Structure 1
Amino acid sequence: MKDMQDAAASGTIGPVLIVDDHPLYSDALDAALRMVFPECQPSKAQTLGAALELLEQGLAPDLVMFDLKLPDVCGISGFQRLHEALPEVPVLVISSLTSVQVVQALMQEGAAGFLPKDAPAPLLREALREIAAGRRYVHAGYLGETVSEAEAPPFEAMHPKLAELTPQQKRIMKLICAGKPNKQIAYELDLAEATVKAHITALLRRLGVQNRTQAAVLVESSQPATTIGAADADAQAFLSR
């Protein structure tokens, strides 16, 4: 981060990795980036796998601009993998998935900032300058918004079928909705991963759905809308993966 701050102070920045599967939008990010840092050196990847390959080949970016909806990304785990690979590099997430829950999860996981994809170019430039200066940036529409457990309805009240789950299955279902992979669920509940898989198989059967995504969409779509983007079906599905 210090190198990035020094670069920002001198009006330049080095390598930047843009991860977005839409070439036109990726080009737009490139153009906006060069308006702030004319000497930057953008590299582009259309999938998380391609981005990780660039890192393995020696790319050492000062900044990553990351879209959440990629062909090989399932939920927040895609951002988590990238952040694990580059723990000291700021990652600005720019996405059409704009529910408050998604934004909160990203910031808690270590994102340097978040912008919705429809943000105007001046706002993007402001975010880039803030992050380059070592600060975190979140679109003003999300500041001060919180979604606490105390405000949420009882889990089983969200959908009649949830009342049919056992207490352990409900705990697992909540973690699925938070975007946790099986390994992480096993760790947090102190269970064997095979046991978690067995519980998930059973709860899917009880809920009458085929997979984790459908189960979480069932839960998320039953929740009342809260704030910005909460009614977006894509955003509701994101945390389920």
Structure 2
Amino acid sequence: MPRLLIADDHPLFRAALTQAAVAAAPDCQVLEASDLESALALLESDPDIDLVLLDLHMPGNHGLAGLAAVRAQFPQVAVAVCSGHDDPRVVRRVLDHGAAGFVPKRTDMAQIRHAIAAMLDCETWLPDDLHRAMADTASNPADSDLAARLASLTPQQFRVLNLIAEGLLNKQIADRLDVQERTVKAHVSAIFEKLGVRNRTQASLLLRELALSEPGALDGDPARD
């Protein structure tokens, strides 16, 4: 029995995706989250989730940060991005960071049903127009390198990295994760080595590279759906 998590802050879109999922796999069980924190908590408590449909821009998730978090902490789970931000350069970054597919929010319900069924069968899915666009959109070596470095972190190291980026000190991170401070120090050293950085500032800047810009202005401000 497949298990699907829909992580999106728009109730009507969650309802539409749930309807499409049940039509694609009538025996599937659907869970919902309206922010990244809730989505990660559900993944932590339910190891049998097969597929996550993840909104690029919802509370707690901006750009590719949520995708990177799920891929690092729950590598066994397939993640597909659902977004209205479907510029081919964005889609290429999504795929380079390990997504199983990209479902534009403009996609009709028949296609969404097909997409969910395909991804539950472990296939990568894109709509036809983005398939064609991907042929002319090369991977960015810097993005591929960043994805590989982040993927080298253990789930707990990725959690520590996020807390470093929030500005927390080792003792505060230890309290947050309920571990010893020396454990955090060991994680920080391993994170610096794996990411090829020398300090907390450089490590935090790497996470900022996961940000996206406004649709139609990819060199501008952070994007919103």
- CA distance change for structure 1 residues 38 and 58 in 2, over 3 Å: closer, same or farther? same
- Greater Rg by CA: 1
C-alpha distance in 2, partners of 1:233/1:114?
A: 18
Query: Is there any run of 5+ residues in structure 2 with no aligned partner, and where?
Result: 147-161, 166-187
- SS of corresponding position for 1:138: coil
Change beyond 3 A, Cα 1:141–1:236: farther
Check if 1:75 corresponds to 2:63: yes
Question: 1:38 is paired with a residue of what secondary structure?
Answer: coil
Q: Is the 8 A contact 1:102 1:235 kept in 2?
A: no
- TM-score with structure 1 setting the length: 0.60
Structure-2 residue corresponding to 1:231 = 216
Pairing of 1:1-241 with structure 2 (within 5 A): 13-143=1-131, 144-147=135-138, 190-194=196-200, 196=202, 231=216, 237-238=222-223
Query: Could you tell me how far 1:148 is from its partner in structure 2?
Result: 6.5
Q: Deviations over 1:143-191 (max 9, x none)?
A: 2131567xxxxxxxxxxxxxxxxxxxxx9xxx8xxxxx879xx768844
Per-residue CA shift, 1:207-235, capped at 9, x if unaligned? xxxxx79xx88xx68xxxxxxxx616799
User: Quick check: 2:95–2:101 contact (8 Å CA) kept in 1?
Assistant: yes
**In 1, are the aligned partners of 2:195 and 2:203 still within 8 Å (CA)?**
no
Deviation at 1:55, TM superposition (A): 2.2
Query: Structure 1 pair 124/195, CA: closer, same or farther in 2 (3 Å)?
Result: closer
Cα gap change, 1:41 to 1:191, in 2 (>3 Å): closer
The one-letter amino acid of 2:122's match is G
RMSD in angstroms over aligned alpha carbons?
Answer: 3.7
Bigger share in strand = 2
Per-residue deviation, residues 82-135 of structure 1 (Å, max 9, x unmatched): 122221221121111112121111111111100110100111112122212221
Distance 1:234 1:21 in 2: 26
**Cα distance in 2 for residues equivalent to 1:138 and 1:120:** 13
Looking at structure 1, the residues matched to 45 and 139 of structure 2 have their Cα atoms a distance apart, in angstroms, of: 42
For normalisation by structure 2, the TM-score amounts to: 0.64
* Alignment length (residue pairs): 176
1:17 and 1:63 in contact (8 A); partners too? yes
Q: Report the Cα distance in structure 1 between the residues aligned to 2:18 and 2:117, rounded to whole angstroms.
A: 15
SS at structure 1 position matched to 2:222: helix
**Is the partner of 2:53 in helix, strand or coil?**
strand
**Partner amino acid for 2:106?**
D
Shift of 1:50: 0.4
| Seq. identity, % | 30
Q: Which residue of 2 aligns with 1:208?
A: none
Structure 1 stretches of 4+ moved >3 Å: 186-191, 194-198, 232-236
Task: For 1:56 and 1:188, locate their aligned partners in 2 and report how far apart those are by CA, in whole Å.
Answer: 24
